[in-house]
Structure 1
Amino acid sequence: MSAKSGPAIPNVRGGYKPQSTSNVLTYVLVTISVIVLAALIIGGVVLTANREKDSGLDPNGTVTSGNTDLTVGSATAPVTIDLFEDALCPACGMFEKSQGEEVADAVRGGKLRVRFHMLNFLNESSPSRDYSTRAAAAMQCVAGEKNQELFLKFHSALFQQQPMEGGSSDHSNDDLAKIAREAGANEATQRCIANGTQVDAAAKAAQESVNQLSKAVGGNVSTPSVLLEGKKVDHSNPDWLKNILKDQQ
């Protein structure tokens, strides 16, 4: 097989061989090409990441846990709201079914950050007398995976499969673990829910959240309640979220 990378050098035995410098030059050119290609790829990755960061998108979609809340959404989102709910509250179920997806989409799009506060004042309206607390504890277990999409799916499922206030049955811890599994939670999270690991923490967070909401609304605590910069939002207006997002553009 003949090489054509350089001029031929006569050989007394016939045939020819390339100049020794031609192979060196080829290797140098190939090496340079690889380096340039790698730089372009890395640069593209960095540029994409920077664009996502600049746009407010949160590709990792994490969840953070505070003393009173479970927070989803980019830290650079232009709007942050506090959402107070009780897992047994019928009005909260209606809120989730009518507006929950819009809220979740705004979170996914980097436009909104939500601090979820799960209250438990409807415990006594559940057959188990502690359903609201156990459901809040389940949300804390799910939040432990720090997976935003999982958290949003589980939160929605809790209200889509909501027991009736004052009804004859509610979800056991095993039932809640099953709902979490169907949302994509791992086995450790399912055990956390089934064992009621976060029940005490959820009860404490609920009480502190009630105190926080009470101070903000002058003692008139109800769920669902939405606070924006510490002030109550009239979410009966179906365009409430569009309006506050538009104001921040």
Structure 2
Amino acid sequence: MPPGAGAMPPGAQPWQPGPPPPPRRGPGLLIALIGGGLVAVLVVVAAVVLLTQGKDGGSGGGSDGTSLQAGKIAGGAEAIPNPDGSLTMARPGVTSPVVDIYEDFSCPPCGNFDRSNDPMLKQVAVAGEAKVVFHPMVIFGEGREPQHGNSVRAASALRCVREGARWLSYQDALYAHQPSESTEGYATSDLLAWAAPLGLTGDDFKKCVSGQRYASDVASVSQSYISSGIQGTPSVRVNGTLLASSDVQTPDALRRAIEAAS
């Protein structure tokens, strides 16, 4: 799928690494820090989802011994980072259907998918209609540069965020600054600069990002996803079943697939 497309066309398959396309960047979601409260502004029929800060803002996390903190989403849902680097977004007690999103920050269609579907996914989580799990991964092999390095730096930096609300907002920031496939991007200095407005300014967070503390963990988790059948990104599973391309062409199609599994 070429970069810049808004959704996967009929018959398209999840993206797999190929020859680098022409450079292009797309718009991202607006992130703002308003009156000390973290706000992710999501335009879906004028819906706004408020993400509240964790106890310590998640600014000091990153080491294996640091606790993971749930972040509250307006409406009663929670965003909970998981030990494997994924994040669960759901209302307490909601266990099904489970919507697993596999994404690579260097994959242009993943950016398109996020801009198109992320607001809807937040809506279904807030409404208690599904348990959504984001799985950052690296689909590129080590010989594919600059894509491989870009993916590793972004996914490793996101794993340094230990509080759920900020995790979601940092994910949005990473997609907002997604480099083209032929451009080296996600420099550690940029990764830190984009994190600062979100309150991610602690020394341990900075060391975690600069040192790519979780690079090896990102690689091993990515390989486990690939071994489980994920061969391209974005890929979506609902209750363990990999969706066909026709089910992820638009937010409405994806929502129907989620509702059908309820």
Identity %: 26
Superposed, 1:1-249 pairs within 5 Å as 57-58=76-77, 61-67=78-84, 69-77=86-94, 78-122=96-140, 124-127=143-146, 129-142=148-161, 144-145=162-163, 147=164, 149-167=165-183, 169-187=184-202, 188-214=204-230, 221-233=231-243, 234-247=247-260
1:29-77, Cα deviation, whole Å (9 max, x unpaired): xxxxxxxxxxxxxxxxxxxxxxxxxxx933xx34231446332323522
Matched-pair contact (CA < 8 Å) for 2:105–2:154: yes
1:159-201, Cα deviation, whole Å (9 max, x unpaired): 111010122x312122112222223324133332122111111
Q: Which amino acid aligns with 2:154?
A: A
Matched-pair contact (CA < 8 Å) for 1:68–1:209: no
Distance 1:106 1:179, change over 3 A: farther
Looking at structure 2, the residues matched to 166 and 62 of structure 1 have their Cα atoms a distance apart, in angstroms, of: 33
Distance 1:71 1:246, change over 3 A: closer
Looking at structure 1, the residues matched to 186 and 216 of structure 2 have their Cα atoms a distance apart, in angstroms, of: 18
Distance 1:125 1:164, change over 3 A: farther
Report the secondary structure of 1:117's partner residue: strand
Deviation at 1:141, TM superposition (A): 0.8
Report the secondary structure of 1:239's partner residue: helix
**What's the TM-score, normalizing by structure 2?**
0.61
Looking at structure 2, the residues matched to 68 and 210 of structure 1 have their Cα atoms a distance apart, in angstroms, of: 15
* Higher Rg of the two aligned structures: 1
Unaligned runs of 5+ in 1: 1-55, 215-220
Distance 1:67 1:151, change over 3 A: closer
Q: How large is the Cα RMSD of the aligned pairs?
A: 2.4
Query: Across the two proteins, how many residue pairs are aligned to each other?
Result: 182
Greater Cα offset, 114-123 or 223-232: 114-123
1:28 maps to none
Deviation at 1:205, TM superposition (A): 1.1
Unaligned runs of 5+ in 2: 1-74
Q: Which amino acid aligns with 2:233?
A: T
Matched-pair contact (CA < 8 Å) for 2:160–2:205: yes
